[in-house]
Chains A and B, each alone.
Chain A
Amino acid sequence: MKATLLEMKNISIEFPGVKALDGVDFKTLTGRTHALIGANGAGKSTLMKVLSGAYNHFTGRIYYDGEEINIKEPRDAQVHGIQIVYQEVDTALISYLTVGENIMLNELVSHMGNKQFVNYKQIHKSATEILASLNMDVSSKQLVSELTLAEKQMVLIARATTSDCKFLILDEPTAPLSHTETEKLFEVVARLKANNVGIIFISHRLPELFEICDDITVMRNGRFIIEEKISETSVNRVVEHMIGEKLKNQFPDMEKEIGDLLFEAQDIADGDKITGVDLQVRAGEIIGLAGLVGAGKTEICKALFGATKDATGTIKLHGKKVKVMSPQQAVKNGLALVPEERRKEGVLILENVATNLTSSHLDNFLKVFSFLDFRKERKVANEMVASIGVKTPSIDTKVQNLSGGNQQKVAIGKWLLADADIYIFDEPTKGIDVGSKKDVFELIAALAKRGKGIIYASSELAEIMGITDKVYIIYDGEVTKEVPTKETTEEELLYFSTGGR
C-alpha cells in the first residue's frame, strides 16, 4: 500500500493575546503511528484541532499527498479522511442512542440523500461489521449510556473508521483507561495501522508511546521542537526536549520522621464498590493506595472523606473515634481531599484564584458578622501563590485560564491554607505536565515533613514507588496487600494490582 503524506507547515494561531501556536511544522504518513507530545499548554491539542478543522483563523499551510488543502471546518477534514477522537468522549456521543446509531452517525447525517426513513437493520449490520473488524466486544444494539468509558472510546474510534479514514487523531486516549483497556486500545491501533491508517497519538504516558509509536514529535510552548524516530530516541531524551532542561530526579528528598498513629480507618465500605478497607496513617507518613483505574481508590478516598452517602465503618483520629458522615464533618475534623476530577470537583473554574484558595475555610478570613476580610484574603492568597509556585498573572485571574498543573496547585493550595491533619490526594498528577508534577510531589513531601498524614491514591505505580512510605494495594474494592514501599518493587505492585495473590 502506498503511504500518503500529510504535512502541516508553519502553522500559527492566536487567541486573544496569546500565540498558542507559533510556526509549527508537523508531518506524518499513513500506516504509521506518530506520537505528539509536550507539556500541558505546549499546543499539541490546538495543533490537532487545527488539523481537524475546529479553528478557521490559523495561518500556515496544510498539504495532503503533496497538494495544498483547505481545512476551515470539521467537514473539510473529514472529506480528506482526517478524523479525531477527543478526550472527552461523552461530548461526542449521544448517550440515549444505541452503539450502532452512534457509530453510523456520520452516515445518518451526511449520506442519507433523499431517503427519509432510516434503515435500522442496515445500520446495525454495518455497525456490527465495523465492531467485528476492530475486534470490539460490544453489541451494536446496546445503549451508549450503559457503556464503560473505554467502550465509549472504542465506539468513537469505530465511528471514525466508518468513512474512508486516512488519519486518526487520538487525543490522550489512554488517560482514563485501565491496563487491560489500554492493551485493547493498542490492539485496535495496530489493526488500523495495518489497514494503512495513520495514527496521531497524543499522550502524557511516555512508556506507552515507546511501546506503540513509530515516530515522535515534541512540542514546547506552542513551538515545534524536534521530530525523531522512536527507535532512535529514549524516554529521558524526550523528557529533556519537553521541559527544555535536563530532567532531575522527579521525587523530592524523603528524609523525615514518622511519628505516632494519626489516622485509622476500620472496615470502610460503601455498600457498592468497596468492602472492609482498613488503613492506618502515622504522622509524617505518606501511604499509597495503589491500584488500577476502577479498582476503587476514588471510592475509598470519598468514603473516608464522608462524601459517599452510605459509607460505613469506623474512623479514628488521634486515637479517638470521630463521625465523618459528610465532607463538612470531615473538614471540621481536619481531613482534606484533593479530588481526582479537578475541574468537576476540585476547583471553581469560573472564580478567581483567591476565591478558590480560601473557599474551604473562609472562617479564617472573617471580621465581625461574617463580613469578609478582603485584605487578609488577598495577602494570604498572594503568599500561597508565591509559596507553591502557581503560575498565574494575578490572584484575580479566573482558574479556568490556568493550565492543568496550575489548577491542581490551586486545588492543593486551598487545603494547605485550611491546615488539615490528614490530606487525601486522589490521582493528583492526572493530566498535568512533568514540571508541575515535580512541584506537586514537593508540596506533598513538605506536608509530610510538617507531620501531616498523607493518603496518596494513584494508578501511576512509579509515583507510588517514588513518594510513599507504605503501600496498600487495592484490587476490586478491597485491600489485597499492605507492604512498606522499600520492600517492594513496581513489578510486584503491578502483579498484585492486576489481581495476583
Chain B
Amino acid sequence: MNNVLILPEDGWKEVSTDSQGSFTLTSGGQHCIHAGQPSELLVGHRYGKKPVQFITAEGESVYVRVSRPCFAVGDVVGGVVPLIQRYFIDLDPVLNSYYLLNTHVTFAGDFEIEFEFTYSLNTGAILGGGGAGNELRFDPNNNRFRFIANGGFTNLVITSVNYNIGTLYKCTLRRVTGLVSLEINGETPTTSNAQPFLITHVGQNGAGSIHFNGIIANPKLTDLVTPANNQTYALGQATGNTETSAEGGDTITYVNVPESNRELFEFDGVTTWDNISPEPQTLPATIEAVS
C-alpha cells in the first residue's frame, strides 16, 4: 500500500486498513497521523508541503486529521524511533499563568528572538522583562503586534497585519545594528530603533500586569553579539504548578497551569528546529474564544 492523499480540512479520514505498508503526505498545512482509532496514540506529524512517510502495522487502520498546534516535528521514516512527548499549554491570564525563565536573558546589543504562538484572547504579553514598557505584546484593542522598549512607545515595532484568534503564527524579532524588525510568517511589517531588552518571563510582561492567553512554543533567543548567551527554550514540558522542568539543558518554571490547560502529544521522530516552517492556518476549535 502506498497512498498519496490530500488532507481533509478537519475531522478524521481513514486512509488505510491494509496490512503493513506506507503512505506519503503531500498536502500543505499541519498534519497529525494517528494509528488505530481516532484519538489514540499520536505517532507522527509535521508541517509544510514536504512528503513524509509512515509505516503502518499489520492489520492497523490509519487515520489522518488536522490537529491543534504541533510545533516541533521532524522526519518520521517509520520503524523504531525514539518516542517524543511534548505538552502544549494554554496560558490563561485569568489564572495568572505564565512561564518563568530561571536564567534571565539580557540582550545588550543585537539579538534575534523566534517563537510560535496562537492566542485565544486578543491581548497579552508574549515575552517580557524588567519594568513596565519593556515587553513584546499584543495590543488588546487594535489587533496589533508591537515591541515596546524602555517605558514608552517611542521605540516600537508595530505591525499592520490583522491577527486571528486560533491561527498559528511564527514570529521573529530582530535587532541588527540597532534597527529592530518584526517578521511574522514571512512578512516584515515595519522597523524601528530599540534599547537593550531584558527577558525574564514568557507569557507575561516584566511588570506582571499583562498575561498571555494562548499557546507559546519554541522560543529561541539568540544574542548576535555574544553567541555564548544563546538559548533555546523548549516550553511545554509542564506537569504541575511551579515545578521546574528542563529540556536541552535550559530550565523554565511554569506557574498556575492546571491539567486542563495541558495536552500531551506523543510522536515518533526527531525534533529539529530547522523543520519548523508553519504557514498561516486556522486551527480547530480547541482554543476557546470569548463571546
- Are these two chains actual partners, yes or no? no
